[in-house]
A = this chain, B = another copy of it.
Amino acid sequence: MSADISVDHVVDTVHRLHEQTPLVQCITNYVSMDLAANVLNAAHASPAMVHDEREAAEMARLASAVVVNIGTLSPPWVTGMHEAASVAAERGIPWVLDPVAVGATAYRRETTNALLTHRPAVIRANASEIVALATAQGAGRGVDSTHDSTAVVEQAQALASATGSVVVVSGASDVVTDSVTTVIVDGGDPRMPLISALGCAATALVGGAAAVAPTPLLGAVAAMAMLANAGERAGRSAQGPGTLRPALLDALWAQRPEDLRDVVLR
Contacts and interface: CB of A to CB of B under 8 A. Distances in A.
Interface string A192-236: 011111000000000000000000000000000000000000000
A231 B198 CA distance: 24
A59 interface: yes
A196 B41 contact: yes
A245 interface: yes
Contacts of A42: 194, 240-242
Given A55-B108, A104-B59, A247-B243, A31 B49 contact: yes
Interface stretch (A3-11, A150-158, A248-256): A248-256
Contacts of A105: 50, 54-55, 58-59
A148 interface: no
Contacts of A245: 242, 246
A10 to B, nearest CB: 21
A38 interface: yes
A62 B193 CA distance: 21
A186 interface: no
Contacts of A104: 48, 50, 55, 58-59, 62
Given A52-B107, A107-B55, A242-B246, A31 B37 contact: yes
Nearest to A63: B142
Contact of A142 (B47, B54, B241, B249): B47
Contacts of A250: 238-243
Interface of A: 21, 23, 29-31, 33-35, 37-38, 41-42, 46-52, 54-55, 58-59, 62, 71-76, 101, 104-108, 140-144, 191, 193-197, 238-243, 245-251, 253-254
27 contacts: A21-B144, A30-B49, A31-B34, A34-B34, A34-B35, A37-B196, A38-B195, A38-B241, A38-B242, A41-B194, A42-B240, A46-B144, A48-B101, A50-B104, A54-B107, A58-B107, A59-B105, A62-B140, A239-B254, A240-B249, A240-B251, A240-B253, A241-B249, A242-B249, A242-B251, A243-B249, A243-B250
